[in-house]
Structure 1
Amino acid sequence: MIRNLTTLLCFFAALSGYAQNIKTGVVVVGSTPSAMSAAIQAARSGVKTLLIDAGRFDVITLASSDQAINGGFYQEFKKHADSLQKSPVTAKTFSPEFTAQVFKKWTDTVKNLTVLPNASIRKIEKSKKGWEIDLKDREIKAEVIVDATQTQSVIPIALAKLDKEDKVSLINPASSYLYRTSVAFGAGANFEPVPIFKLINTGADNLITTFPGGETNFLTGQAAGATAAYCVFFNTNTNNLSVRKIQTELLSYKSQIIRFDDLSDTDSAKVALQHIGVTGILPARSQNGRLLFLPQAPVSTDEIKPALKQYYSRSHVWFLDHKEDKLKLETALDLIKFLASRGEELNREVEKAWKTSLKLTGSYDLKKELTRRELAILLDTYLQPYSVEVDLQGNVRR
């Protein structure tokens, strides 16, 4: 009997020890809206995620910058908020306590997500594959850490005991193409793009921040979550990211990777315009602190030539014979046929889809002068330059 009792005690001791150790893909630390957004996105991207904080997640402050951007998870946040009230909520009702209730209701429904409150981090160490996080009562092994604390308190702890070989040099890119790697944008007047390097420029692999440059919102949280999930899902690190795959994942969850002041959030071609926006083929115009797409403006061949030559080296041959101050539909289709190796069937295809799947207004007329919006939709649908990968500097990969 004593032998059986000893065996039973050993079993429960082993079980208790097992229960205190957690293995997960992504750990998000913080009780900010960007922490919630990062954790939800990582979990929805199919990766086991743990959200921890030293508090109890009962007070969460929604910043004005979170409410300034009407896109991404903020829309879903408002739906959950509405469901907790008898009448539609307004920003004035988003008290820290109410915001915490909304996030609790939301996170309770997310698959792959575990929330761990009252977690005091004692130590963070680099392991062979990821990180080991020592809490007061348990140890966590994770492949990626996302620091979403208000004061960015996790990054110094993680870097403190790193050997020289484990540290990575901070990126100081001089490229003028960083906008092509945008995964979010700021809440300022000009919606400045947030290139992905700002999320991973922390000094160590698989250590990500949601506060690039000190500014945060739902979108940067989503971007950090998608980036972390990518590393786990593809068994890689933050030095080997596919910018386009991460951007596409964010767009599939209704986030926004680039923003123009003069485009509506309800535009049926919103995704196509974001695609072409980050390629730079139709470059944005900055006017009085505002970033503009100018959707109804005409297009010249000189305007689209520099970027297209980077994406398609053979395009320089086409541009030798084509110079128009105002690009016509006929010429645009000729360009697409040349670069995509299409024949005259493309004309019939576009004519059939003009008002249906393309949702373009006016009549199909080969002699009509195209607007920037119309050209963007045609390029995204039939040429798909967005599918061409770019590196972390925004340079086109060949």
Structure 2
Amino acid sequence: MIKKLLVLLLVSNCTVLYAQTVKTDVLVIGNGASAAAASVQCARSKVKTIWAFGAIKIIANSNAAETYTINNNVNIPSGAWGEFRKKIQEVYRKKPGYDTSQYAALNFETDTAEVVLKRLTDTLKNLSLYEQSTFISIKKDDDRWAVSIKQNDKTITIKARVIIDATDSGTVATKAGAKFEAAFKSSSFNAYRTTIATGNTVFNKDYNTDSYPSYPFWSIPINAVLLKDFSNLLVTAKALPTGNNIQYLPIQLELGQGVGTIAAYCAFFKTTTQHLRVRIIQGELLDFKGYILPFTDIDPKDANWRAVQQVSATGLLKGKLNHAEFIFMPDSLVNTAQIQPVLTEIYTRAFLWFSKEKPGKIFTIGNTLSLISDYTLTDPELLNKTIQKAWKTQYKFNTDFNLNGPITRREFAVLANSYLNPFARTVDLSGRLVN
């Protein structure tokens, strides 16, 4: 009897030792840059996160001493990509001849880049790293996913609210039974309104950029990482081109950060990918300097950067391709014909205002204040005095306040963002406005 009890105790101890179960909010699986960026974003968004990976790889099949040069997105320091680029430049700053100017191409060795990626995860209290681990299986377990991994000959079951499959080929999602094509296909022009990663360069001549929203830049919308019939399982491979190309690194980092904001939203609000609120997710992305539109002429340090991003994300102010750059043109004047259709789409009262006021070809400061007064039901004289007082002190505008003068795109973006707040209007995952 005693021997049997001893055997049972030994078996029990072995079970505890080799079959551990852990709970978390988000589990990220993958070795690359998108996995690192997603993990960091989830942790910074204050949800408990586990990153399970074998070994960090900046690019598959590379050796430690190999040197790379990235020319893509050097003038768009968006979120995780901008942070990575800055840290790489800090490492090489004292190296003779190394160019650290604002728009210089980024040069680095493989091992240095992988160390920098690892450092991004340091000191994040909500992030746990399961290094040298291998993915085994995944299954649904009530409102969570149960994922088994192997680490040091020990099987660990991780139960997470949200899974981010950041593997190169969507291994985790495929194991769960999902079927998907690499490269998201969108038939909605307005899908750019739901962007979570963006840039102003195409991937390569073989990649079908028509799969993405038809706009003069490429953007990856939220729908690109979602799986139909698979709740809270996000896949980066569904939105990325295949291939072992270092030029994809900026978008891998940006996409990872974007996916991280979606996962964090679901975990924080204890909801699912069937109930996403686009503007809250994008707002979190903007909090961490992630771009929605890849404007190269508005620096993220600019006091009006967020207002420009938010208003332009509604389609109210559209950008323009200028050679290889996508520009906002902050000092250009506002064309009435451009803003009228979107204003009447967003605000029902705008149709009546345009019919009554009949503004000219170029929108004026007076037109803008009149529209704001009509929408907010604010006394026109009081509104004029308030904005005139804040024109150069609070808003830091360079022009003189003149009701009859034309309004610049920067000025319109700031005032519209402050008083009309079009970014607050709900949009669905296809980018359509929801009443």
Question: Which interval holds the TM-score relative to the shorter structure?
Answer: 0.7 to 0.9
Q: How does 1:234-383 map to 2 (within 5 A)?
A: 234-286=269-321, 290-321=325-356, 322-343=358-379, 344-383=381-420
Q: Deviations over 1:207-255 (max 9, x none)?
A: 1123414263321111000100111111111111010000000111111
| CA displacement at 1:203 relative to structure 2 | 5.4
Cα distance, 1:106 vs. partner?
Answer: 2.4
How far does residue 379 in structure 1 lie from its aligned partner after superposition?
0.4
CA deviation profile, 1:275-315 (whole Å, cap 9, x unmatched): 01111112233466653323222223322111111211111
Supply the distance in 1 between the matched residues of 2:411 and 2:106 (Cα, whole angstroms): 40
Correspondence list, 1:67-146, <5 A: 68=74, 69-81=76-88, 87=94, 94-136=108-150, 137-146=155-164
Q: Does 1:185 align with 2:184?
A: no
Structure 1 contact 66–217 (Cα < 8 Å) conserved: no
Q: CA deviation at 1:370?
A: 0.8
Query: Structure 1 pair 360/240, CA: closer, same or farther in 2 (3 Å)?
Result: same
For residue 387 of structure 1, what is the aligned residue in structure 2?
A: 424
C-alpha contact (below 8 Å) 2:320/2:326 kept by paired residues:
yes
For residue 36 of structure 2, give the secondary structure of its aligned residue in structure 1: helix
> Contact conserved, 1:80 with 1:106, CA < 8 A, in 2?
no
Q: Counterpart of 1:372 in structure 2: which amino acid?
A: R
Distance in 1 between residues matched to 2:80 and 2:91, nearest whole Å:
17
CA distance in structure 2 between the aligned counterparts of 1:147 and 1:368, rounded to whole angstroms: 53
Question: What amino acid is the match of 2:78?
Answer: G
Query: Quick check: 2:162–2:267 contact (8 Å CA) kept in 1?
Result: yes
Aligned to 2:65: none
2:175 to 143, 147, 157: 157
Q: CA deviation at 1:36?
A: 0.6
Moved more, 120-129 or 243-252: 120-129
Would the aligned equivalents of 2:70 and 2:106 in 1 still touch at CA under 8 Å? no
Amino acid of the structure 1 residue aligned with 2:161: E
Q: For the aligned residues, what is the CA RMSD? A: 2.9
Find the partner of 2:187 among 155, 174, 177.
174
CA distance in 1, matches of 2:8, 2:16: 12
Q: Which amino acid aligns with 2:170?
A: Q
Q: 1:191 to 1:110 in 2, by over 3 A?
A: farther
Task: Name the CA shift for 1:172/1:387 in 2 (closer, same or farther; >3 Å).
Answer: same
CA contact (8 A) 1:183 1:258 kept: no
Name the SS of the counterpart of 1:249 in structure 2: helix
Partner amino acid, structure 1, of 2:158: I
Quote how far apart the aligned CAs of 1:318 are: 0.2
Q: Secondary structure at the match of 1:291?
A: strand
Please name the residue that 1:219 is paired with: 254
Contact 1:311 1:385 in 2 (8 A): yes
- 2:17 maps to a residue whose letter is S
Change (3 A) 1:15 1:63: farther
Q: Which runs of no fewer than 5 residues in structure 2 stay unpaired? A: 60-67, 203-215, 242-247
SS of structure 1 residue aligned to 2:112: helix
Distance in 1 (CA, whole Å) between partners of 2:278 and 2:69 is: 28
The 1:6/1:342 distance shift into structure 2, 3 A limit, reads: farther
Which residue of structure 2 aligns with residue 44 of structure 1?
Answer: 44
- Whole-angstrom distance in 1 between the partners of 2:430 and 2:137: 33
Structure 2 Cα separation of the partners of residues 361 and 270 of structure 1: 16
Aligned partner letter, 2:277: S
| TM-fit CA distance, 1:6 | 8.6
Contact kept in structure 2, 1:261 and 1:291, CA below 8 Å: yes
Q: Which moved more, 1:388-397 or 1:198-207?
A: 198-207
List gaps (5 residues or longer) in structure 1.
none
Distance 2:428 2:348 in 1: 17
Is the 1:39–1:49 contact (alpha carbons within 8 Å) kept by the matching residues of 2? Answer: yes
**How big is the shift at 1:193?**
2.1
